[in-house]
Structure 1
């Protein structure tokens, strides 16, 4: 039996909880579930006043944020490309993805995509805190996930040995990079 039963919540920092709540409600239809505010961090007992909010990301998934008014301004790991760290949310289907892109653009939000990853399509945007968000609609065909799972051990072994791009699953993006 697996130890973990799912993700309880994922937490990120925000610069303003009201701005963050408004964005996620207007852009992604997420409701505020609860808020917790303390003067001290319960786990470390460190003095650091905060507001901790929890948003409903659907199907029991929770997205949380901390506003830390006495901490230095938030930054990001400058050694990691901006596209690497992101939150990815599943949407019902490609039609929902397309409707959401139109809605986001109408709200003045820059959207990249859709990008075809063969097993799903995605659009990308940023929240007001600079966090990159991916919305993904599954488009997987029968047998594709099984094929990818079978390839994974050999891919990891080759990558670990060479630290060079491994081509076993190149079929996922071959059309994206094909010359016109």
Structure 2
């Protein structure tokens, strides 16, 4: 059975397109790789779709983060999720690169939190882009092994049992 091999892109709506473009090209340093302009039309389920610009910022791997600049009036819909649980994590090659990204972002006026060491596996900093997208810049400091995968099954089972018993 075929399975996805990597992320192609992750997309969000831009609230301030010029600030978004500046953040992702200058502060983060991604390549502005593609733009698509679409006029108003209907979605596949018949809903009205406003005119939009869809832009892509690529990483050297070819994966991208993308944004929609939507024209016209529309209803903003809150998603009801915890702000810290919803984030995009971008990989850098080393702990030194995490520190360099913190410096680079700070020089562009971005408030950066961290670094945070996550269980000795990831080393990360956090910030928000102009649209409120929660960005993590991380370096994986150790490989995830088959033993980790086996442990993940146990952690998952315990968590689900605790949820069912209302212990968490």
Question: TM-score interval w.r.t. the shorter chain?
Answer: 0.7 to 0.9
TM norm structure 1: 0.81
The residue number in structure 1 matching 2:140 is 138
TM norm structure 2: 0.86
How is 1:1-180 mapped onto 2 (pairs within 5 angstroms)?
1-41=1-41, 43-44=43-44, 46-72=48-74, 74=76, 76-77=78-79, 79-117=80-118, 118-140=120-142, 145-163=145-163, 164=167
Distance verdict in 2 for CA 1:125–1:76, change over 3 Å = farther
Is the Cα–Cα contact under 8 Å of residues 43 and 49 in structure 2 kept in the other structure? Answer: no
Give the Cα separation in 1 of the matches to 2:117 and 2:87: 17
Is the Cα–Cα contact under 8 Å of residues 17 and 51 in structure 1 kept in the other structure? Answer: no
Size of the aligned set, in residue pairs, is 162
Deviation at 1:126, TM superposition (A): 0.4
> Highest relative contact order (Cα 8 Å, sep 6+), 1 or 2?
2
- Give the unaligned 5+ runs of structure 1: 166-180
Give the Cα separation in 2 of the matches to 1:9 and 1:47: 21
Give the Cα separation in 2 of the matches to 1:125 and 1:145: 29
Is the Cα–Cα contact under 8 Å of residues 94 and 121 in structure 1 kept in the other structure? Answer: yes
**CA deviations over 1:16-62 (Å, ceiling 9, x no partner):** 32321111111111111111111135752634111100111230101
Give the Cα separation in 2 of the matches to 1:22 and 1:11: 17
Is the Cα–Cα contact under 8 Å of residues 112 and 124 in structure 1 kept in the other structure? Answer: yes
Distance verdict in 2 for CA 1:87–1:104, change over 3 Å = same
Give the Cα separation in 2 of the matches to 1:97 and 1:41: 42
Is the Cα–Cα contact under 8 Å of residues 15 and 74 in structure 1 kept in the other structure? Answer: no
CA RMSD after TM alignment: 2.0
Distance verdict in 2 for CA 1:100–1:2, change over 3 Å = same
Is the Cα–Cα contact under 8 Å of residues 13 and 74 in structure 1 kept in the other structure? Answer: no
